[in-house]
Amino acid sequence: MNRIYKLFIMSVFLMCAFGCKKNSGANMKKIVLDSERNSTSKEIEVAKKDVKDVKKNEVSKKNIDEKLEKYIKTVDKKAKVEELICSGIYGTKYDKKMEDFLKAKKPGSIILFKRNISSDKQLKALVLDIRALYRNMNVHEPFIFVDQEGGRVDRLKSVFGKTNSPSWYFKNKPATEYGKRITNALNHFNLNGGFSPVLDAQKPGNGIIGDRAFSDDYEAVAKYARDVIKYMNENDIVSVGKHFPGHGATHVDSHEALPVINKSNDEMKKSDLIPFVKNFDILRGVMVAHILVPKVDDMPSSLSKVWMDKIRNEFHFDGLIFSDDLTMGALDSYGDLNTRARKFVEAGGDIPLVCHKNEEMEGVISELLKVDDKRIDEAYKRILKAKLEIGLISEIKEFYMTSFR
């Protein structure tokens, strides 16, 4: 999808968001005509000008931001909170239990695991059924993710064939080949991202990351990953660098306990942070790990306002900030699942991952409703912009518009 086409999609989305009645989206042309009949002459002229500007490749980012701000004010807080959450689901079949959960909680993102995958046909059907449900509910279509790195983290292996590790690709193939392999696997199943690439640098004695890293050289990781990210972005995949601020120097598995890095801020900048900082300008997302760097902050990075402020203000990243799975053992001393989700968003995160224990989702939603409205709106806006950017909100592939909450 070229840039002009994406901008056209954004403009049509914004026209409908602010000029249309809520609609089932069955007929894109009809929605546009309805919006013209129900809008003032001034609004019609603005909308028409937007489309004209798109065709000339002159859409103003500021104008889009302003329209999103206006739209966000019309959405109730609970719907915004639901949009923030990335939830795991159970089962390989789209059954009543899964449908009831998704109807009740409406998570804006979904992450799939091996427990959700049994065959090529089954996975394609599951993804299509989930997307159809969201359209029928008139809510924004979800991001659907799966951990897909290759090697030890190869969720699609049984249905797409083995993908070699990032380390193997670094040693044997150009970065574009790795990017192509991951992208093709995700696109084959209509998935939006694989929570990759890994931007950690494997250091001697650390068996936690191992061959999940491209290299043990920070600069080499940064350079190789950059071409991977570019390839993903060009093919409408949500590139997500992980595990910020760097898992390569740790010796503890955060699934079990809290890793600690005894480095100063300056030492981090000269090592683990390099692959992230050098790619923040093109990444669509970053996953913040549960790592304690006591010389920087006394909170784990995923719950740390200090680290979030560095990402936004020092490193000037304006993409999506994901947490690592909030059910991990690393955070056992930092409150229950609900509290962890709230602390992550309050610190500056956008999308909290709840990969397991989705039976606790009601509590997570209730706790997130306590977060300041401004902070929720900031995260919600970033998510909408990301969905616009990859063409997910306006279902142009099938020629109709997704309705809005």
Is 350 one of the annotated active-site residues of the chain?
A: no
Set 95, 100, 251, 255: catalytic member = 255
Which parts of 261-333 are beta strand (E)? 285-288, 320-325
Is 324 one of the annotated active-site residues of the chain?
A: yes
CA angle 281, 287, 292 (to 5 degrees): 115
Q: H or E segment at 130?
A: helix 120-136
SS3 labels along 330-356: HHCCCCCHHHHHHHHHHHCCCEEEECC
Residue 210 vs residues 113, 150, 383: alpha-carbon distances, Å: 21, 13, 32
> Is 384 within 8 Å of 394 (Cβ atoms)?
no
Quickly list DSSP for 161-180. -----HHHHHHHS-HHHHHH
21 contacts: CB under 8 Å, gap ≥ 6: 34, 35, 38
The partner residues of 351 in beta bridges, in order of sequence, read 322
> Is 180 within 8 Å of 189 (Cβ atoms)?
no
> Is 9 within 8 Å of 387 (Cβ atoms)?
no
> Is 154 within 8 Å of 148 (Cβ atoms)?
yes
Set 154, 211, 297, 324: catalytic member = 324
Task: Classify strands 153-154 and 148-150 as parallel, antiparallel or unpaired.
Answer: antiparallel
Rg (CA), the chain: 21
Neighbours of 122 (CB within 10 A): 15
Per-residue burial over 84-104, b = 16 or more CB atoms within 10 Å of its CB, e = otherwise: bbbbbbeebebeeebeebbee
Question: Residue 350's closest CA among 315, 306, 308?
Answer: 308
**What is the rounded CA–CA span in Å between residue 363 and residue 378?**
22
151 contacts: CB under 8 Å, gap ≥ 6: 163, 164, 165, 166, 167, 168, 211, 212
Catalytic positions are 255, 324
